[in-house]
Structure 1
Amino acid sequence: MTIYREETDFEELTGDPDDKINFSADTLMYISSYLVNENSYLSKGEVWINWFSKYEKFGELEHLYFMTPTFFENEKLPVTISGNEIELLLCVPISQEELEYFENNGASALEELLYEKNIDVSNLFRKSVI
């Protein structure tokens, strides 16, 4: 699932005002295809570097960081579905400064900072918290 503000300006984001559906579908398809092709899975604390580099106007957020969603904090994770353990992750766009903070201080420190600053994960144009 892709989460972003309803009023996200896709003309500013991708150059195409009608790109909302394509942006969500492309993101989900790319992540799924990557995992199938690499015979891999995503794990919390993983970062995809320069994910948004293809969007010139994307702003400060260049990378994707995967973390456990805060709304699942009190739930027992991972969940088991049809005998397979599934961990639900939240994909959070982060800036270069936030990536460097992650590299220097670790996943827990970055997540604490993002929680502390109460970032809006749906705002694809938010400013870095660093």
Structure 2
Amino acid sequence: MEHQARILRDILTHLERQEAAGEEDQNGIGGEFAQKLKNQSIKYRVDKTFPTKSAEKTENIKKNRYKDIVPDHSRVKLSLITSKKDTDYVNASFIKGVSESRAYIATQGPLPHTVVDFLRMIWEFNVQVV
């Protein structure tokens, strides 16, 4: 029992040090998570795990705040058209919930030129909480 307590204390001490190190330190929890997330993003892009055809269209590239966060397989498609220059693209994805396959929408904060798309999405999908 004493051996298990010592192992647990060692683990907790290690985690406290990692947490204190912060995100800038590669050995910290935040740094480790950020690196794993970056590696996974690169792997998905290189392996073409998830298609990004819509996000990579010329007219849509400028609508992506971050070049490595682009939806396609689970993307929100807009059908509400407010002007001739509107498209069905918004950088947003549906997220599965417990009881629904489209329970939530994850999206980036709108850019100055994508605010209308963001508002179209909120209106069309009757978003209650932002």
Taking structure 2 as the reference length, what is the TM-score of the superposition?
0.29
Higher helix share: 2
| Higher strand proportion (structure 1 or 2) | 1
Structure number, greater radius of gyration: 2
